[in-house]
Amino acid sequence: MSESHDDCAIRPTHIGGQALLEGIMMRGKYNWAVAVREPSGEIYTEEHDLVSAKDKHAWLKWPIIRGMWGFYETMVLAIKAFGISAEHAGETEEEQLTSKEIGLTMVLGLGLAVGLFIVLPAVITNLFVDSIEHPFIWNAVDGVLRLVAFFLYIWAVSRLKEIHRVFAYHGAEHKTIHAYERGLPLETETIQRYGTLHVRCGTSFLLMVMVVAIVVFSLVPGKAIMAAWGIDARGWILLFNITTRIILLPLIAGLAYEITVKWAGTHPDNPLVKVLLWPGMQMQRLTTAPPDDSMVEIAVAAMNLVVAREEAEAAARGEAPVCIPEPIDL
Top pLDDT among 237 and 97 is at: 237
- CA–CA gap between residue 28 and residue 13 (Å, rounded): 9
- Sorting pLDDT into bands at 50, 70 and 90, what band is 13? confident
pLDDT digits (tens, 9 = 90+) for 219-231: 988 878 888 888 8
Structure confidence at residue 322 (pLDDT): 46
CA distances from 298 to 103, 140, 168, 263 (A): 25, 43, 12, 30
- Sorting pLDDT into bands at 50, 70 and 90, what band is 95? low
pLDDT of residue 271 exceeding 60:
yes
Structure confidence at residue 7 (pLDDT): 42
Structure confidence at residue 55 (pLDDT): 85
Structure confidence at residue 267 (pLDDT): 78
Among 3-17, 28-42, 150-164, the range of highest mean pLDDT: 28-42
pLDDT of residue 65 exceeding 80:
yes
Structure confidence at residue 94 (pLDDT): 57
Q: Which of 224-228, 260-264, 266-270, 273-277 has the lowest mean pLDDT?
A: 266-270
Structure confidence at residue 303 (pLDDT): 97
pLDDT of residue 329 exceeding 50:
no
- Sorting pLDDT into bands at 50, 70 and 90, what band is 244? very high
pLDDT of residue 328 exceeding 50:
no
Structure confidence at residue 320 (pLDDT): 60
pLDDT of residue 99 exceeding 90:
no
Q: Where are the domains of the chain?
A: 16-316
pLDDT of residue 217 exceeding 70:
yes
pLDDT of residue 323 exceeding 60:
no
pLDDT of residue 89 exceeding 70:
yes
pLDDT of residue 4 exceeding 80:
no
Average pLDDT over residues 129-141: 89
pLDDT of residue 93 exceeding 80:
no
pLDDT of residue 106 exceeding 50:
yes
Whether the CB-CB separation of 96 and 44 falls below 8 Å is answered with no
Average pLDDT over residues 73-97: 81
pLDDT of residue 2 exceeding 50:
no
Q: Which of 77-81, 90-94, 257-261, 320-324 has the lowest mean pLDDT?
A: 320-324
Average model confidence (pLDDT) across the chain: 87
- CA–CA gap between residue 261 and residue 255 (Å, rounded): 10
- Sorting pLDDT into bands at 50, 70 and 90, what band is 97? low
Structure confidence at residue 11 (pLDDT): 60
| Phi, psi of 179, deg, nearest 5 | -65, -40
Instruction: Classify strands 31-37 and 23-27 as parallel, antiparallel or unpaired.
Output: antiparallel
Q: Give me the sign of the Cα torsion angle 207, 111, 75, 242.
A: negative
